[in-house]
Amino acid sequence: MDSERPIPELMELYLDHLRIEKGLADNTLESYNGDMKRFAEFLKFSDISFIHDVDTPAIIRHLIRLRNAGMEARSRARHLVTLRGFFKYLVQEKILEANPAKRIDLPKSGLKLPDVLSVSEIAHLLSMPDIQKPSGLRNATMLELMYAAGLRVSELIHVKVQNVRLDAGYVQVFGKGAKERLVPFGQYAGQKIIAYLATARPLLLKQYQSPYLFIARAGKPMTRQGFWKLLRQYALTAGIHKPITPHCLRHSFASHLLEGGADLRSVQIMLGHVDISTTQIYTHVAREQLRILHEKYHPRG
């Protein structure tokens, strides 16, 4: 089968096609060749030997690696154009049935991947709160849950105690448009939640009552601004100088899952990015599969 031919050989065929059929200039061909070499190195690193094993999440992981290596958005956009052309050629030659790079958006301003923290930066950030203090344990639990479940800050501050299912390892979230979803949160966040509920939360509540998991003064829920202020303070203490927002933890959640090998659709479900036209596709993924996937791929699962 042509799809089982060595990947470097298929890349050479594509470059020959550009040289002969398209008549591209030498400097342009050199640029394409550089892109092909970078992609070939990634595939070798990922133990992908056959072209039919390259899927959309793999290409996204490659683009994330390029971004983490310092490649600018404009260069990554050009690189993606190269890959699109390569896979389009393979489809035209009936070597592949579909183009896995076609589904990746390419904004007119260039491919811009969201700012994310590395796994080590996340670990350092999450270790910053003083968990010996009630407020510190609350803050540590908020950071853990936000990263573990990829929550929006508005979702995090509105989580109620009854929304947390410790026995199953899920948090019930109501996202945009009041859409409900269940997201696994892993053992690290689970342990923090148990400790917080047992010790810190009662002390923070004092004589007040509140249905919300994370409470501030007088039993009121933490505000978006209050959490953002805490996050920036912990980032500075951790020596993280990247622009950091609550959404940065959500982006890191998604990026780290994809880098670890999770499939794109499962990540989209956990993020709550489900529009009407694709709901049926995404709901076929069993919740138990999501829990196992999270445990397997998430750095703090």
**Looking at 67, 138, 152, 192, which residue is catalytic?**
152
Active-site annotation holder among 158, 250, 294, 300: 250
Name which of 241, 212, 244 is nearest 228 in CA terms.
244
Its CATH class, for the domain covering 119-297, is: mainly alpha
pLDDT of the residue at 290: 59
Catalytic residue among 5, 103, 176, 242: 176
Going residue by residue through the chain, which has 301 residues, state the pLDDT in tens, using 9 for 90 and above: 465 788 999 999 999 888 887 777 777 888 899 999 999 999 998 889 889 889 888 888 898 888 888 888 778 888 988 999 999 999 998 899 888 888 786 644 454 555 678 889 999 999 999 999 999 999 999 999 999 998 989 899 999 999 999 999 999 998 776 778 899 999 999 999 999 999 999 999 998 999 999 999 888 998 888 999 999 999 999 999 887 888 788 878 877 776 777 776 777 777 776 543 332 332 333 345 556 667 877 888 7
DSSP the chain: -GGGS-HHHHHHHHHHHHHHTS---HHHHHHHHHHHHHHHHHHHHTT--SGGG--HHHHHHHHHHHHHTT--HHHHHHHHHHHHHHHHHHHHTTS-SS-TTTTS---TT---PPP---HHHHHHHHT-S-TTSHHHHHHHHHHHHHHHHT--HHHHHT-BGGGEETTTTEEEEE-GGG-EEEEE-HHHHHHHHHHIIIIIHHHHHTT---SBSSB-GGGPBPPHHHHHHHHHHHHHHTT--S---HHHHHHHHHHHHHHHT--HHHHHHHHT---GGGHHHHTTS-HHHHHHHHHHHSTT-
CA–CA gap between residue 90 and residue 104 (Å, rounded) = 17
pLDDT of residue 277: 32
pLDDT at 163: 95
Are the CB atoms for 149 and 182 separated by under 8 Å?
Answer: no
Active site residue 273: yes
Token pair for 170: 């899920």
Residue 223, token pair as written in the block = 């505000």
Residue 4's pLDDT is what?
A: 73
- CATH for 2-92 is 1.10.150.130
Told to judge if 176 belongs to the known catalytic residues of this protein, a careful annotator would answer yes
Cα distance between residue 290 and residue 2, in whole Å: 34
> What pLDDT, on a 0 to 100 scale, did the predictor assign at position 108?
47
Instruction: Measure the CA angle with vertex 198, ends 215 and 119; round to 5°.
Output: 75
For the chain, residues classed under CATH 1.10.443.10 are 119-297
Instruction: Please confirm, yes or no, whether 102 is among the known catalytic residues.
Output: no
Catalytic residue among 52, 84, 282, 287: 282
**Is 79 designated active site?**
no
Is residue 54 a contact partner of residue 43, using CB atoms and an 8 Å limit? yes
> Which listed residue (232, 247, 265, 287) is catalytic?
247
In this predicted structure, what is the pLDDT of residue 286?
A: 36
Provide the whole-model pTM: 0.62
Residues of the chain with CATH 1.10.150.130: 2-92
